[in-house]
Amino acid sequence: MQNRRLGKSHLEVSALGFGCMGLSFGYGPPVDRQAGIALIRSAVERGVTFFDTAEAYGPFTNEELVGEALAPFRDRVVIATKFGLTFEPNGQRGLDSRPAHIKEAANASLTRLNIDAIDLFYQHRVDPNVPIEDVAGAVKDLVQEGKVRHFGLSEASAQTIRRAHAVQPVTAVQSEYSLWWRNPEAELLPALEELGIGFVPFSPLGKGFLTGKIDEKTTFDSSDFRNIVPRFTPENRKANLAFVGWLTGFAEQKKATPAQVALAWLLAQKPWIVPIPGTTKQPRLEENIGAARIELTSGDLREIDRAAARITVHGARYPEQLERMTGR
């Protein structure tokens, strides 16, 4: 697999990363620990060098899994994790990006991941109660101490990114982006290009919908986050199948799968974009990695854009309370 550089930084990673969240959290029960370790190591063997986790995934258990899986390959991989959430015994989550909490979170993540330095440390969500300059300053201290190598932000606005970048250079921004959610194209991507910051799209396959394996009859485990996502109500799934149907037909012409075309489309947008699809299954891992070999011509990209523009996506991408935590 080819490598890409995240913006103007010196952080070089595989063109496709691996989003590890679903191994522990969000999409049903956690996978068997040894199966999760085997899958992550299989990704390394296939050329993936960029792995995304967070203290929130579990919470905490995903970092431990990723740390154990990647220990034999530490000098070959880039590990990204995130800070800034709190976790109550009742399952409630809050925000806390006070500098003291950031430093506590970094030390705890280093221990769980069993590493000496965090390669890329993202603020998970912008905390409206803490100036972003204070957040960037805390991460700058951690960089100077050698505990963190690069600073990132997740689901932040262009204005917030600019303010943070002025204090401590931001290497990468992570936000949702796919053929199913293109809002970053309006303000975020132009700002990142101007500032020389890399972009890491999560949910690049629309939380699985763009694979073509989900329809209105699909049922999700009771612990699956998609049960509360408006876009995944049965009626919205049925309405949204129109685009997946078109994508499937287009993919067949390219001798590819819908997921591969969706990932190849993202890779074709900018050379500093690195999607992080996640999976719990070996065949899906290999399918996703295969997307890096697909060449989309300028004509293909125009055709995809025309088709996407004609189709309305039904349903919000987040429940209202979660959407309010983005774009700050």
- Alpha carbons 316 and 227: distance in angstroms, whole number: 13
Q: With CA atoms as reference, report the closest residue to 15 among 158, 156, 209, 198.
A: 198
Whether residue 318 lies in the annotated active site: no
Any domain includes 28:
yes
Task: Note the pLDDT of residue 89.
Answer: 86
Task: Note the pLDDT of residue 229.
Answer: 97
Enter the pTM of the model: 0.98
Number of Cβ within a 10 Å radius of residue 52? 25
Residue range of the domain that includes 305:
3-323
Task: Note the pLDDT of residue 90.
Answer: 82
SS3 of 123, please? strand
Burial letters 240-273, b for 16+ CB under 10 A, else e: bbebbebbbebbeeeebbbbbbbbbbbbbbeebb
Do you find a cis peptide bond into 59, omega within 30 degrees of 0?
Answer: yes
Sign of the C-alpha dihedral, residues 56, 80, 109, 99? Answer: negative
- Alpha carbons 65 and 128: distance in angstroms, whole number: 31
Task: Note the pLDDT of residue 159.
Answer: 98
Any domain includes 243:
yes
Any domain includes 328:
no
Q: Is 308 exposed, middle or buried (0-12, 13-18, 19+ CB in 10 A)?
A: middle
Choose the catalytic residue: 27, 57, 122, 177: 57
Token pair recorded at residue 116: 């000496």
The domain tally of the chain equals 1
Residues 272-287: pLDDT tens digits? 999 999 999 999 999 9
pLDDT by residue for the chain (328 residues), tens only, comes to 999 999 999 999 999 999 999 999 999 999 999 999 999 999 999 999 999 999 999 999 999 999 999 999 999 999 999 999 999 988 889 999 999 999 999 999 999 999 999 999 999 999 999 999 999 999 999 999 999 999 999 999 999 999 999 999 999 999 999 999 999 999 999 999 999 999 999 999 999 999 999 999 999 999 999 999 999 999 999 999 999 999 999 999 999 999 999 999 999 999 999 999 999 999 999 999 999 999 999 999 999 999 999 989 999 999 999 999 999 9
- Alpha carbons 60 and 141: distance in angstroms, whole number: 23
Q: How many CA atoms lie within 13 A of 129 on its CB side?
A: 8
Kindly report the CA angle at 102 between 22 and 204, in degrees rounded to 5? 30
Task: Assess contact for 95 and 55: CB atoms under 8 A.
Answer: no
Task: Note the pLDDT of residue 46.
Answer: 98
Task: Note the pLDDT of residue 92.
Answer: 85
In which element (H, E) is residue 164 found? helix 158-167
* CATH number of the domain within which 228 lies: 3.20.20.100
